[in-house]
Amino acid sequence: MKRILLAIAMVFAFGAMQAQDEVLFEFSDGIEGAVKQTMEQNTSRLLTAINQAESSGKDINYSGIGIDDLATQSIGMMWNNVKFRVLDDDIVEHCLRIKASNGRVIGYQARNIAVVMKPIDDSYVGDLNQEICINYDPSGRISDFNITMGLQQYVRLMKEGERLNDADRRMQILHWVEQFRNAYVQKDINFMEDVFSDDALIVTGKVVKRQHTDMKPIAKVEYTTQGKQQYLNGLRRVFRNNAYINVKFDDIQIVRHGAKPNYYGVTLKQGWFTKNYSDEGIVFIVWDFTDEFSPKIMVRTWQPTEIDDSDVFTLSNFKLN
């Protein structure tokens, strides 16, 4: 009798644990019909599977989820470095449409999904509370998964895009910028190989002297340049030597090139955090969206935050072919 009661108790406990891990997701607006239902089902199952894996200490089970290899690889690389858990069990979000330059819908996106990071050890440095976004292909299958910037920053950039009539392109740019940021976190050297142009220019500043003024300290900076492979070789060493890397992008600004409409300059404040080293700097990236499905980084620069505002790199500092 005791064995039967114990078995019943275990069944109830298992059921309670499953219920605790379950996440229900739905779109409030932005899409209707069968694709909406497919995305909601795939998202609910994925978020539930993430919670179940975090609770059990096991790998994520993708059975029954419509999800591409790119998305599972993205989640897997993150999962190897830090576990995480979805905070809410009932999520309602707006569906965003991602469009090509001709106006055709090429995918969808859900944002603002709150997660809490569950570090494996003390190598994790950074905010525990994060937000993720999920991308879908036109059929509703999950195609990508990334940690994102905050909602206020996203809304500001989209409002600016509406004013300048390039909101669709800005959404594409932000998606690629978020993928770029996550490639550092996930230590995804293959993404870096693909996204940098073969003749990309990488410029890194080093502070050699600091001068203090009434307004703020101003740094004298020396710059070194690298090619793609030299930069990636150094990045490989950084990836090998750090159990976890946390990179944060803030204060993002997007400017379109006046004479070359497929070129965009993206300026942002980057925070870099590892167990033994951290810094903050200004990163400027030149993106070539000539091929909007496979854009390339032509220039990537890093400057210390102490430089004078007039010395921050812009599109005018670089001759683009």
CB 79 within 8 A of CB 56: no
**pLDDT tens-digit map of 216-249:** 666 678 899 999 999 999 999 999 998 888 898 9
DSSP secondary structure string, 230-288?
A: HHHHHHHHHHHH-S--EEEEEEEEEEE-SS-TTEEEEEEEEEEE-SS-EEEEEEEEEEE
Q: Which residue has the higher pLDDT, 89 or 258?
A: 89
**Predicted pLDDT at 157:** 77
Torsion 70-74-75-79 (CA) sign: positive
pLDDT of residue 298 exceeding 90: yes
Mean pLDDT value across residues 66-75? 94
At 223 the pLDDT is: 92
Average pLDDT, the chain: 88
pLDDT of residue 13: 46
* Topology, domain 189-317: Nuclear Transport Factor 2; Chain: A, (3.10.450)
Is residue 10 over pLDDT 80?
no
Residue-level pLDDT at 12? 47
Task: Tell me the C-alpha distance between 229 and 245, whole Å.
Answer: 21
Which residues are paired to 72 by β-bridges? none
Per-residue pLDDT reduced to its tens digit, 129-151: 999 999 999 999 999 999 887 76
pLDDT value of position 5: 46
CA atoms of 290 and 296, how far apart (whole Å): 9
Over range 114-126, report the average pLDDT: 85
Q: To the nearest whole percent, how much of the chain has pLDDT over 70?
A: 90
Q: Give ranges for CATH 3.10.450.50 in the chain.
A: 189-317
Confidence at residue 160, expressed as pLDDT on a 0 to 100 scale: 79
Lowest mean pLDDT among 61-65, 192-196, 256-260: 256-260
For the segment 198-224, what is each residue's pLDDT rounded down to a tens digit?
999 999 988 776 666 556 666 678 899
On whether the CB atoms of residues 86 and 114 are closer than 8 A, the answer is yes
Q: Which of 4-18, 74-88, 267-281 has the lowest mean pLDDT?
A: 4-18
List, as one string, the DSSP characters of 51-102: HHHHHHTS----TT--B-HHHHHHHHHHHHHEEEEES-SEEEEPPEEEE-TT
CATH class of 2-148: alpha beta
Which of the four pLDDT bands, split at 50, 70 and 90, describes residue 18? low
Q: Are 49 and 60 spatial neighbours (Cβ–Cβ below 8 Å)?
A: yes
Q: What is the mean pLDDT of residues 166-187?
A: 89
Look at residue 7 and tell me whether its pLDDT is greater than 70. Answer: no
Residue 53 pLDDT > 70: yes
Query: At CB < 8 A and 24+ separation, what contacts does 167-171 make?
Result: 168/98, 168/99, 168/100, 168/101, 168/103, 169/101, 169/264, 169/289, 169/292, 170/254, 171/96, 171/98, 171/99, 171/109
Interval 20-41: pLDDT, tens? 899 999 999 999 999 999 999 9
- Check if the beta carbon of residue 232 is closer than 8 Å to that of residue 196: yes
Instruction: Specify the 3-state DSSP secondary structure of 193.
Output: helix
Cβ neighbours of 220 (radius 10 Å): 12
